[in-house]
């Protein structure tokens, strides 16, 4: 098998299709991180929230026999947990980073506990009772060459993720609520001075953030695999945190970061078929994150130097 042939087998249309699917859960959590961060609350608990979302997605799906009901239950669970986060942080003055870490510890502990108690299994739960999401075929698009294979035949939530990016952008930058939210994050005192309800905005940011994490979590458990396994988020919430960081909270730039992670994920899985050890494969997204953060920081500093140089 020649190199060109191997490359063609590695990088083909299906790779881009699966990249979009791998991007989706990270992208939802990233949007969640953006809303929280824009209101001035750093949420390092995205990982735990997503895990809770994944678990309650299964609970909802099994109970009500519908994937969309599962999604709703997941979102409710995450919003509730985010409310606790916001309350403890905003009313009782708890440190946001520590409470975020608490979400991760609690998410891990509670889901494995409930897995045992509710479904009587350890490790993972998979059953025919779990109703997953269906793939969507888009009538005209699916017949297009190349693009059709990438864009059609995905889960509805994949499309919704990218729509959500656009909606979030419009909301944050084109509506008064978005402006209020961002100004609270930017300068709480100034925002209060002009009569913006700071507390309300922070609650809103954290809760919307939690809701997005719930969607991302439910996508993990109810799309493609239809199962819940302990710690199945596998650091995706932290990757989302990295994406928010890299994209400087701007929805489009953060989306690019999430896409890079999704692509690395999809590529890594394929590399496994070429004999790359799975442990190395699992490492790749995290190495990519560190490299991306480094490069963007260097570039930022270089740009600043260049600006200073032209100024004289």
Partner 1 sequence: MNGPREVEASAQKSQVAQMLPGLVMQLLNYALILLLALGIGALIIASSGRDPVAAYQALFHGAFGSRMAVANTLDRSSVMILAGLSAVFAFSTSVRNLGIEGQLYAGAFLAAWIGFGIEGLPAPLHIALAFVMSAVAGAAWSLVPILLRTRWGVDEIVPSLMFNYIAIHFTAYLVAFPFKSDTTILPGTDPIYATAKLPRFVRGSPLNAGFLLALVLVFVVYWFLFRTKQGYELRMVGMNPAFAAYAGLPVKRSALMGMLLSGAMAGVGGASLILGFFGRFITQFSQGYGWDGIVISLLAKNNPIAVIPAALFYAGLANGSLEMQSATQVPITLVSTIKGVIMFLVTAQFFLRYLRHRYPQWA
Q: Which of 56, 212, 219, 238 binds partner 1 (CB under 8 A)?
A: 238
Part in contact with partner 1 (CB under 8 A); list of ranges 3-11, 168-176, 189-197, 293-301: 293-301
Secondary structure (DSSP) of 112-181: HHHHHHHH--SSEEE-TT---PPEE--TTGGGSTTHHHHHSSEEHHHHHHHHHHHHHHHHHHHSHHHHHH
When asked if residue 289 is in the footprint of partner 1 (CB under 8 A), the reply is yes
Helix (H) or strand (E) holding 229: strand 227-229
When asked if residue 106 is in the footprint of partner 1 (CB under 8 A), the reply is yes
Q: Choose between 65 and 277: whose C-beta lies nearer to partner 1.
A: 277
Q: How far is Cα 72 from Cα 22, in angstroms, rounded to an integer?
A: 21
> To the nearest whole angstrom, how small is the minimum distance from the Cβ of residue 112 to partner 1?
4
CA distances from 1 to 5, 70, 171, 221, 275 (A): 6, 46, 51, 37, 15
Q: Which of 150, 245, 254, 263 binds partner 1 (CB under 8 A)?
A: 245
**289 near 261, Cβ under 8 Å?**
yes
Site for partner 1 in 109-168 (CB under 8 A): 109-110, 112-113, 116-117
Q: Choose between 256 and 290: whose C-beta lies nearer to partner 1.
A: 290
Q: Which of 99, 191, 207, 211 binds partner 1 (CB under 8 A)?
A: 99
Closest CA to 30 of 184, 260, 228, 232: 260
Q: Which of 4, 92, 139, 176 binds partner 1 (CB under 8 A)?
A: 92
Q: Choose between 136 and 284: whose C-beta lies nearer to partner 1.
A: 284
Q: Which of 83, 88, 141, 271 binds partner 1 (CB under 8 A)?
A: 88
Contacts of 296 (CB under 8 A, 6+ apart): 246
Part in contact with partner 1 (CB under 8 A); list of ranges 7-15, 87-95, 164-172, 191-199: 87-95
Q: How far is Cα 100 from Cα 105, in angstroms, rounded to an integer?
A: 9
Closest CA to 52 of 221, 209, 182: 221
Q: Which of 10, 11, 13, 105 binds partner 1 (CB under 8 A)?
A: 105
Q: Choose between 152 and 289: whose C-beta lies nearer to partner 1.
A: 289
Contacts of 265 (CB under 8 A, 6+ apart): 19, 22, 23, 284, 285
Q: Which of 101, 136, 138, 156 binds partner 1 (CB under 8 A)?
A: 101
Part in contact with partner 1 (CB under 8 A); list of ranges 126-134, 143-151, 207-215, 275-283: 275-283
Three-state SS across 29-42?
A: HHHHHHHHHHCCCC
When asked if residue 102 is in the footprint of partner 1 (CB under 8 A), the reply is yes
Contacts of 17 (CB under 8 A, 6+ apart): 149, 150, 153, 154
When asked if residue 287 is in the footprint of partner 1 (CB under 8 A), the reply is yes
Part in contact with partner 1 (CB under 8 A); list of ranges 106-114, 136-144, 168-176, 220-228: 106-114
Site for partner 1 in 24-83 (CB under 8 A): 44
- Which positions lie near partner 1, rule CB under 8 A? 44, 84, 88, 91-95, 97-99, 101-110, 112-113, 116-117, 235, 238, 241-242, 245, 277, 279-280, 282-283, 286-287, 289-290, 293-294, 297-298, 301
């Amino acid at each position: 098998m020649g190199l060109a042939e191997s490359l063609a087998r590695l990088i083909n249309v299906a790779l881009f299709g699966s990249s979009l699917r791998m991007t989706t859960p990270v992208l939802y959590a990233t949007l969640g991180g953006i809303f929280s961060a824009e209101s001035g609350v750093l949420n390092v608990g995205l990982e735990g929230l997503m895990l809770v979302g994944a678990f309650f997605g299964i609970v909802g799906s099994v109970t009500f026999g519908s994937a969309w009901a599962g999604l709703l239950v997941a979102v409710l669970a995450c919003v509730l947990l985010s409310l606790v986060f916001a309350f403890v942080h905003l009313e009782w003055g708890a440190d946001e980073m520590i409470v975020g870490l608490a979400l991760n510890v609690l998410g891990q502990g509670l889901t494995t506990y409930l897995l045992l108690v509710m479904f009587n299994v350890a490790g993972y739960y998979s059953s025919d009772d779990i109703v997953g999401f269906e793939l969507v075929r888009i009538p005209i698009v699916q017949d297009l060459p190349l693009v059709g294979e990438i864009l059609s035949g995905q889960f509805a939530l994949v499309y919704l993720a990218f729509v959500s990016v656009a909606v979030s952008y419009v909301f944050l930058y084109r509506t008064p609520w978005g402006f209020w939210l961002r100004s609270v994050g930017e300068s709480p005192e100034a925002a209060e001075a002009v009569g913006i309800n700071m507390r309300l905005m922070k609650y809103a940011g954290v809760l919307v953030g939690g809701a997005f994490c719930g969607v991302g979590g439910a996508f993990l458990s109810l799309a493609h695999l239809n199962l819940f396994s302990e710690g199945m988020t596998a650091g995706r919430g932290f990757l989302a945190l990295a994406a928010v960081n890299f994209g400087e909270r701007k929805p489009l730039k953060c989306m690019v970061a999430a896409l890079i992670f999704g692509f690395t994920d999809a590529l890594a899985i394929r590399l496994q078929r070429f004999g790359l050890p799975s442990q190395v494969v699992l490492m790749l997204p995290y190495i990519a994150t560190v490299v991306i953060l480094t490069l963007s920081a260097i570039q930022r500093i270089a740009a600043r130097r260049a600006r200073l140089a032209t100024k004289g």
